[in-house]
Structures are given as C-alpha cells and as structure tokens.
Amino acid sequence: MKIIEDKNNELLKRKEVKIITESKTSPSIGEAVNLVSKEFKTQEDNIVIRNVKGKFGRKTFLISAFVYGSKEAKEKIERKPKKKKGTEAEKAEEKPAEKQEAKPEKPTEKSVEGSSLETSKPQKQKVSDGSQDLRILKSEDFGGAQKSKKISDKTSRTKVLDSYQKLKISEASEKTAKA
C-alpha cells in the first residue's frame, strides 16, 4: 500500500487521501474502508470511500477516501442516504394482502350458434371524444360480414349514419307491411 496524496482540509475537518493498493480482485468498499482505517489508525465510522478505480489487467487499484476527525464532522458534511418508505418486513406483509385483493373477473354470457361461440354485448357503444359523440357500430347493424368500426372521420361518420338510418327505415317499413 502506497499513499499518493494526503491533504489536510481544515475547513471541512478531514483528510483527503489517495492510496494505491495491490489485490487480485478489485477491493470492495468494505475492504477499502478497512485498509484506510488500519493505515490512518481511525475508526471505520469516520471514513468515507469516494471511489475505487482500477485498470483492466492490472492488479493495482486507486482508492480515494475522506478521513474525518470525528463522527459529528462527517455527519455535518456528508450526504445522508434517503430513507426507504417501508421496511422489507412491511413490504413482505403487503404483497400477500395485494394478491388476495385480486380483481374479480367479469362473468361473460356465451351463447352457442352453430359452431361458433359469441359473447352477448350491446350492439352499439357510445364513445365520447371531446365535443363529438362517436359511435362504434357492429357489423350486425349493417347485415354485413365486416368487423366493428370506429367512426372518427366526419365524412365517413355521416355516410355510415345515413346508411344506418336507411336500414332502420327499411326495417320499420317491412314490419308495418307484415302487420
């Protein structure tokens, strides 16, 4: 272990230290704190490791650290980690409760016609889009084999509504003719 830089910062009441150490693997923060505390004969609580740098293929590592004179000086200057909202035990208790409150599935009524299953839904659904009132018309409304359409275009909307009204008028005239 070799000390490269040892500055004494009186304003912040700390020593700013850079040390080169040799190791087979990069030292963890805990190992670096232990090395610095042994070198400067201070408590591990008074040491803050800024970084541990190494280069590829080399077994030497640069450790930058701050060694404070007291724990109070360290607490005044260093940032404190954010507190977590809940502890791990509280989170573990919440998860099973959330699983029990799972969303109930909506029952769907199904009718069988021929070989296909169809769900019973209303034929028309209204969708509000700002000031316009759009409709989703089903293929049953037109008697065709096309899938449901969402009409958002004003020109196509008027054409579809006109054809829908003509269809309803023709159905009404057929009913009166039968009666």
CB 18 within 8 A of CB 63: yes
- pLDDT, position 158: 74
Given CATH 3.30.70.330, say whether it is the number of domain 2-77. Answer: yes
pLDDT in tens, the chain (179 residues): 899 999 999 999 999 999 999 999 999 999 999 999 999 999 999 999 999 999 999 999 999 999 999 999 999 998 888 887 766 656 666 666 555 555 555 555 444 444 444 444 445 545 444 444 445 555 455 555 554 455 455 566 677 778 888 888 888 888 888 77
Q: How far, in Å, CA of 80 to CA of 117, rounded?
A: 62
Burial class of 61 by CB neighbour count within 10 A (0 to 12, 13 to 18, 19+): buried
- Residues 6 or more apart in contact with residue 118 via CB below 8 angstroms: 110, 111
Predicted pLDDT at 81:
80
Task: State residue 100's pLDDT score.
Answer: 57
What's the rounded Cα separation, in Å, for the pair 83 and 112? 58
Query: What pLDDT, on the 0 to 100 scale, is given for residue 119?
Result: 47
Q: What are the start and end residues of each CATH 3.30.70.330 domain in the chain?
A: 2-77
Give the predicted TM-score (pTM) of the model: 0.46
pLDDT of residue 92: 64
